[in-house]
Structure 1
Amino acid sequence: MDSNIVGATECSDRHESASQIYDLALDIGGSLAKLVYFTKDNNHCVDGEGGVSHKAALEMCNGSRSYPVLKGRLNFVKFETSKIVDCLEFIQSKKIHFGNQHQGVPANSSNNDIKATGGGAYKYADLFKERLGISLDKEDEMDSLVAGANFLLKIDHNDLYPYLLVNIGSGVSMIKVEGDGKFQRVSGTSVGGGTFWGLGRLLTKCTSFDELLELSHRGNNRVIDMLVRDIYGGLEYSKIGLTSTAIASSFGKAVSDSKELEEYKPEDIARSLLRMISNNIGQISYLNALRYGLKRIFFGGFFIGGHAYTMDTISVAVNFWSKGEAKAMFLQHEGFLGAMGAFMSSEKHGLKELMVNQAVQQFPNSVCGAVNKIHGLLNGESNDDGSIDCSVYTG
């Protein structure tokens, strides 16, 4: 399997030019609005492929169910919630809201609704109705998050449950998951992705979350963070297990240095901010996992964004505090768990019945040896544009 983690990106028009757009679902959070929608190409219908009869194809792929089997693509798109109008215009331009249909039968006004979750499903319901003439069929936010995560993690249930799901959105929710539909929100913190983006916007000239994340990649947090060696004259504090490079105080050097504020580089500020928030989330997550005896912690949400440094920092924090007992694991398309769960709540496409191919990959990590990445794939690899090819039942 390709080791590349494809981040949440807007899908390419080249895939949609010859395709029909079907079901759409939304997760409208405080910072970002996420869309998942399905496109199919009529040229890819299983019926008749390789001399296989329609009935035989159905029996091989879906037992005795009397719906055609179509090959298609799941697409993932995001917008800043503050620019929700851009999201509406995207939906309208691609006529996705008229794609909630079956077998090519156009949707009508009495049937023209889409699944949606998150606070924005309530906040912007009237706007969607006024601008697009559609109703938002609201799904519970926690239900959708867990359903989306479980779907992408569908392996042997004896090995999967229980686990801690840490969803890092504007704030952070920590959910103990014991099975399909069996979960409890056990904790959370207000220091999350919204904190990173909000403080980053105040401290740098970045105009988007992605720009801030990319800026942090070029920075050096040690210019701003006070390390143990800065306090102990270059030495470590071995008695309590602190290395010389451990962070003693995030942003601490800004107090002790004689630099003027303008001398601090934006990329170093962004890096320090990312490190501070990632460390904090990793520590709190482990303490909650410890509280409930959970060994595996799955992280989702756009704060991660497939960013290797973010995953590394969270993993190091979990490894440090657990002394190697717990593992931090990361989902592909981690920012779309809620939207995926809302998408799955529709009975139209039959995604709940799909077999999910699953693989766990590891990559080198300087401190904890390995960081686990979970790839939840729908009968196919991710494409370069972030979409997923899959077999989907429609009817």
Structure 2
Amino acid sequence: MPQSQANAHADTAIAAGDDIDHREGNPRPRAMTSTATTTAEIDSTISHPGSVRINVKGAFIVDGTEQPSTPANGYTNGSYHEGKDIRLPNHTAVVSHIAVDIGGSLAKLVYFSREAHSTEPGGRLNFHSFETDHIDDCIEFMRHLKDNQLALNGSKPNDLCIMATGGGAFKYHDKIKKALGVDVLSEDEMTCLIIGLDFFITEIPREVFTYSETQPMQFVEPEADIYPYMLVNIGSGVSILKVSGPRKYQRVGGTSLGGGTLWGLLSLLTPAESFDDMLDMAAQGDNAKVDMLVGDIYGTDYNKIGLKSTAIASSFGKVFRMKREAENEAEDNGNGVSDDHQHGEPIHDPQNSTPASQPRTRADAPSRFSASDISRSLLYAISNNIGQIAYLHSHIHGLSHIYFGGSFIRGHPQTMNTLSYAIRFWSKGQTQAYFLRHEGYLGAVGAFLKRQPRNWGRRGSFEGDGAALEDRLRKRSEAGQGVDDASAV
């Protein structure tokens, strides 16, 4: 290894909290970087990435669609680059692992890279996703990362380790290990979700925000004590977790009506070929053409119980009546089918004694419902249901902070507004919904962090069982009440 490269790898990043204490006038001196490192120590760090310290000082989200300038840039083959990489300008040590969260619908991947053509130090966390049905493309992308490990972050291909979570971490464990020839460490899904969320809440600026139509994106800073809170993770299905401390959680509920439900039904009802297509159609649709609204029943608002005329009284409530009207109109115009066939009896092909593959029914009457209107109606139906279930659980457990995560949201305005409105409405403004810019990557980031047992974050906040983070937040709270902050370590 060239001496300059060895020096770069030997640089041990300080914990960001040390620098903060120094900057804020705390008498405790900042930690010093290592000035002499042996070749054996360098090799040990590369071979055992768990000893690497990640420096989050100055971390920020790279806004826009800027692509990472790395050997992985330009690789498409089914991958989707999120365009919200997290820049770590002060990290210099080698990271020789990547993390993947494989769910029922999507596989989410996180990896660290240097910026190949940049003269600045540090690197970034990159975020990619694949449809789980195309898991082979995801594995091929990981092979691409393995082949480019030296250029990406200084490690050798044989040093790569895969941290995997989600159901697919077990389902595809042997497939990934055989294809890549690397160690695959499977991590508990719920634990990874909480570790990832805690990291985003406490370590990354401008990550957490609230949403409403009048104030679309208001970033928030963590309170002195972030616990307890509720995580509603919306993937193919929905899991609801009560989090009482670092890595202290309980699954208190959930529902099978989640992103997979929306994806599945819209695959049957619309020509959409991807989840993003469905969200794009929903953004253009008018649910009032499909849903029965309060105004359709009362002709006005129902003020006595606080319902506006635009509130949904029945999702898809107009479909049966309007569909029947359309069929009757078609029959009146001479376009209907015969009585023998109008109730769904199969039409027989005269050249074949077996029924035709597609029976002709009254459903063949011209449709009055566009794919966009259907998409928006179903998105509202699923989101409203999740929002109400989330509120009920928060009420039962006395929680006023609800974080929504999972790939169902995708930063989609209608989804966030529906969830946020439901929480405000049912709680009468006493409970707040929070969203994240990396909502779909909580588990993947949590798995990534599991490979960093020492000094990841400020004051080793993700070390061991989370006691360091809990202690840090407790002392921050005490400092806010007049306790001398010099004791906060």
Q: TM-score, normalised by structure 1?
A: 0.75
Q: Does 1:240 align with 2:337?
A: no
Q: Does 1:179 align with 2:229?
A: no
Alignment partner of 1:152 out of 200, 208, 215 = 200
**In the TM superposition, what whole-angstrom CA distance separates every residue of 1:215-237 from its partner, at most 9, and x where no partner exists?**
111111111000011112x1222
- Find the residue that maps to 1:351 and give its secondary structure: coil
- Find the residue that maps to 2:110 and give its secondary structure: strand
Matched to 2:149, the amino acid is G
Partner of 2:261 in structure 1? 195
Q: Does 1:85 align with 2:136?
A: yes
Partner of 2:105 in structure 1? 31
Q: Using the alignment, how far apart are the partners of 1:101 and 1:16 within structure 2?
A: 7
Cα deviation for residue 13 of structure 1 reads 5.3
Partner of 1:129 in structure 2? 177
Alignment partner of 2:235 out of 169, 185, 196 = 169
Deviates more, 1:256-265 or 1:117-126: 256-265
Higher strand share: 1
Q: Which has the larger radius of gyration?
A: 2
Gaps spanning 5+ residues in structure 2: where?
1-60, 74-91, 203-220, 327-364, 462-489
Alignment partner of 1:268 out of 361, 373, 376 = 373
Cα deviation for residue 354 of structure 1 reads 7.5
Alignment partner of 1:347 out of 438, 452, 458 = 452
Cα deviation for residue 89 of structure 1 reads 1.6
Deviates more, 1:31-40 or 1:122-131: 122-131
Cα deviation for residue 341 of structure 1 reads 0.2
Conserved 8 A contact 1:21-1:40: no
Q: Using the alignment, how far apart are the partners of 1:261 and 1:329 within structure 2?
A: 42
Partner of 1:206 in structure 2? 272
Cα deviation for residue 120 of structure 1 reads 0.2
Matched to 1:36, the amino acid is V
Cα deviation for residue 355 of structure 1 reads 9.2
Cα deviation for residue 113 of structure 1 reads 2.8
Shift in CA distance, 198/319, structure 1 to aligned 2, threshold 3 Å? same
- Find the residue that maps to 2:316 and give its secondary structure: coil
Alignment partner of 1:115 out of 142, 147, 163 = 163
Deviates more, 1:263-272 or 1:251-260: 251-260
Conserved 8 A contact 1:27-1:117: yes
**In the TM superposition, what whole-angstrom CA distance separates every residue of 1:198-224 from its partner, at most 9, and x where no partner exists?**
111111111111111111111111110
Q: Using the alignment, how far apart are the partners of 1:345 and 1:121 within structure 2?
A: 14
- Find the residue that maps to 1:262 and give its secondary structure: coil
Alignment partner of 2:127 out of 70, 76, 94 = 76
Matched to 2:445, the amino acid is M
Q: Using the alignment, how far apart are the partners of 1:348 and 1:158 within structure 2?
A: 24
Q: Percent identity?
A: 50
**In the TM superposition, what whole-angstrom CA distance separates every residue of 1:26-64 from its partner, at most 9, and x where no partner exists?**
000000000000001477788xxxxxxxxxxxxxxxxxx
Cα deviation for residue 243 of structure 1 reads 1.5
Partner of 1:249 in structure 2? 314
Q: Does 1:104 align with 2:154?
A: yes
- Larger relative contact order (C-alpha < 8 A, sep ≥ 6)? 1
Shift in CA distance, 269/354, structure 1 to aligned 2, threshold 3 Å? farther
Partner of 1:53 in structure 2? none
Partner of 2:438 in structure 1? 333
Conserved 8 A contact 2:146-2:160: no
Conserved 8 A contact 2:72-2:145: no
Conserved 8 A contact 2:193-2:443: yes
Q: Using the alignment, how far apart are the partners of 1:73 and 1:278 within structure 2?
A: 33
Shift in CA distance, 209/21, structure 1 to aligned 2, threshold 3 Å? farther
Matched to 2:176, the amino acid is F
Conserved 8 A contact 2:70-2:152: no
Matched to 1:131, the amino acid is A
Shift in CA distance, 174/239, structure 1 to aligned 2, threshold 3 Å? same
**In the TM superposition, what whole-angstrom CA distance separates every residue of 1:294-340 from its partner, at most 9, and x where no partner exists?**
11100011111011111001111111111111111101110000000
Q: TM-score, normalised by structure 2?
A: 0.61
- Find the residue that maps to 2:250 and give its secondary structure: strand
Conserved 8 A contact 1:283-1:321: yes
Q: Using the alignment, how far apart are the partners of 1:290 and 1:270 within structure 2?
A: 30
Deviates more, 1:184-193 or 1:237-246: 237-246
Partner of 2:400 in structure 1? 295
Q: Does 1:281 align with 2:281?
A: no
Conserved 8 A contact 1:100-1:114: no
Shift in CA distance, 159/101, structure 1 to aligned 2, threshold 3 Å? farther
Shift in CA distance, 102/40, structure 1 to aligned 2, threshold 3 Å? closer
Conserved 8 A contact 1:29-1:120: yes
